[in-house]
Structures are given as C-alpha cells and as structure tokens.
Amino acid sequence: MTDFRLTAFGILNAGNLPWSFSMLATGAISEATAASTFNSAMTSLFTTATSGLETMLPTDVSLTKTQAATVDTNLHQVSITSNANVIAGTDANAALPKQLSIVVTTRSATPTKSGHGRFWLPPFAEDTLGTGGLLGSTTQTHLQTVFNAFFSSLTTAGLSLFIENRRPLKNGTPVGTRKTLTTYDISNEFRVHRHRVSKIVPTRIGGNI
C-alpha cells in the first residue's frame, strides 16, 4: 500500500489569491493512477451538470491544478505527479467575501475531535445564500450529489481516505495513529477561513479627527 496526499489548487479574486485543499489517501495503486483518479474526480466535482461546483462559484474563482504526492511514514512528500486542470466558475453573480467558506467534514468511526478531518471549499457566489445568511438548501443538496460521486470515484479506484494525529492525544494515543474516514457531511453554515483572510492586502481611506 502507498500513501498519498491529494491536493487541488486554484485561484480567486481574478488570480490575486490562491486557494487549495488536500486529503490523505492510501491504496495499492501507483502515484500516476492516484493522480489521474483524483484529477478526474475533481473535474466531475466541478463540471457535473446543474450541481457541479462551477455553477456555485463566481467567474473570478478557478480550479487550476491537481496533484498526487507520495508521502513517507512522516507524511513528507517524496514525489509528485501534477495535472493542469483549469475550470472557472460560471456563476455571474458577485462573490461572497473571500474569507467565507463552506467546510466539508470527513469522519472516522472515532466520535471525537481527533476522529475527523475537514477541508475548505473556495468562496461561493452570493446567490448561493439562503435564509438567515446560511447556504441555500438547493445548493447544499447539489453539494451532496457531487461529493457522493467524488468520494465514490476515489473508493472505486482503490483509494481509502485517512487522517493521522500529529501530536500525542490526552488518552494516550501515540503520534501517527491512523483513522480511516468513512463518512462526510456538509454544514449549511459559512465559516471564516482566517488563513485566506491573512493573504488579503487591504486598502485604507481616512480623514482628520
């Protein structure tokens, strides 16, 4: 079995800012096959008719590249296979604030904080908002549709997603204990991606006091 880090890269704000998300996977397949599988899964995630991510993203947000990196027992990358894959958002509405993101939570059988992972999606267009400032229910259902297919395609290709704790846990669990991810969920609450905000260089105006 070989361990991989699968990563999607993109740009937002018409190329001024990067976004990315990644996940760990293991499987008895080559790096090239893992890279091709992940690239195809990302293409479908973006372009599936009526429910793909491209329909939810403003036109200044794009996927640009996918990659699979083979990692060692310390999860350090030892080799990388990349695929250019440029897919822009198709929603003509204005973007929501760049720091607002929908989070995909991935879960293992361990019902604790250390038993789940998560990744942040790029910022959506403003018409994805529903009542109360939450993600609209139709958009949330579309996300379920495309992510069901996304994760299924990875599993069918022989990849199993997992997480590992980077520090010893209070219950005595040692560093590097692996947990297989078996389910996912998507909240309708937008979360603030602080690292994305830190990349924004603001302009200021003012006056005399």
User: How would you write the pLDDT of the chain (209 residues) with one tens digit per residue?
Assistant: 999 999 999 998 776 789 999 999 999 999 999 999 999 999 999 999 999 999 999 999 999 999 999 999 989 999 999 999 999 999 999 999 888 999 999 999 888 777 889 999 999 999 999 999 999 999 999 999 999 999 999 999 999 999 987 777 677 676 768 899 999 999 999 998 877 766 667 788 889 99
Q: Is residue 203 part of a domain?
A: no
Whole-number pLDDT of residue 200: 67
Strands 116-120 and 103-107: antiparallel
Residue 193's pLDDT is 84
In a domain, 9, yes or no: yes
Asked if residue 205 is part of any domain, the answer here is no
Q: Say which residue the tokens 């005595």 belong to.
A: 172
pTM (predicted TM-score): 0.91
Structure tokens at 84: 């250019």
Q: How far apart are CA 44 and CA 8, in angstroms?
A: 13
Does 172 reside within a domain?
yes
Strands 62-71 and 17-27: unpaired
Which residue carries 């008719």 as its tokens?
49
Instruction: Kindly state whether residue 207 falls inside one of the protein's structural domains.
Output: no
Domain of residue 65: give its range: 2-198
User: Per the domain annotation, does 206 fall within a domain?
Assistant: no
In a domain, 109, yes or no: yes
d(Cα 121, Cα 53) in Å, to the nearest integer?
A: 9
Spatial distance between the Cα atoms of 86 and 159, rounded to a whole number of angstroms: 24
Is residue 64 domain-resident?
yes
pLDDT value of residue 198: 65
Domain count, the chain: 1
- Rounded distance, CA 165 to CA 126, Å? 36
CB-count exposure of residue 74 (10 Å: 0-12, 13-18, 19+): exposed
User: Which residue type sits at 71?
Assistant: V
Which residues, including other chains, have CB under 8 Å from residue 69's CB and lie 6 or more apart? 4, 5, 7, 31, 77, 78, 79, 80, 81
